[in-house]
Chain A
């Protein structure tokens, strides 16, 4: 079955540091890939997505590139802010059939200190 593995947290950075959160996946076919963010006490928000190989998703300074050859979708940001402190989830969605469920990684807690 499908699975998503993301780096274990927690990750603690200072403001303006570079962020990478690794994500790899196992899936049949050509899944769509997502990063969701969960701020304290809130639901999940879609951060960015990519639907095919070599696509780059970007939003709010975050980027991730769909790498089919390495089955990866690593999240990066050049300069993090305190407001980026949250839990980040990598997820995939099957490309075919009628099942559009999301399969999530375990989540990575990011804390950014001033």
Chain B
């Protein structure tokens, strides 16, 4: 158990809908990262938040957005869903995610949310 929790575990929805994925980082971790794992694209970085602020963006679609709240949990919002959005969405957390000791940047992954768009 990494200490990172994600809910829900599974989500089935229809095209055009909107869903919210939730992530709670390990206690004490300030950075949260979101990754998408799909069969054709593999594991791709979407976005990173540090202490409530967006820190880095990857291959995140404009239909997707995220935020990190004062209690440090994070939500990933996916809207106007398409069939191709079906994937495993992982959240990871690290102590800082900033320059400094590499051990503070080690990322611990949650179990993932499997999204199926029908």
Contacts and interface: CB of A to CB of B under 8 A. Distances in A.
Interface of A: 32, 36, 42-46, 49, 51, 89, 93, 96-107
- Shortest 6 CB-CB distances between A and B: which pairs? A104-B43, A101-B45, A44-B109, A43-B109, A99-B56, A43-B111
A89 B90 CA distance: 14
Interface of B: 2, 4, 31, 33, 35, 42-45, 48, 55-56, 58, 90, 92, 94, 97-99, 102, 105-112
B45 A45 contact: no
B99 A46 contact: no
Contact of B45 (A44, A46, A102): A102
B90 to A, nearest CB: 6
Given A43-B111, A45-B2, A100 B90 contact: no
Contacts of B45: 101-103
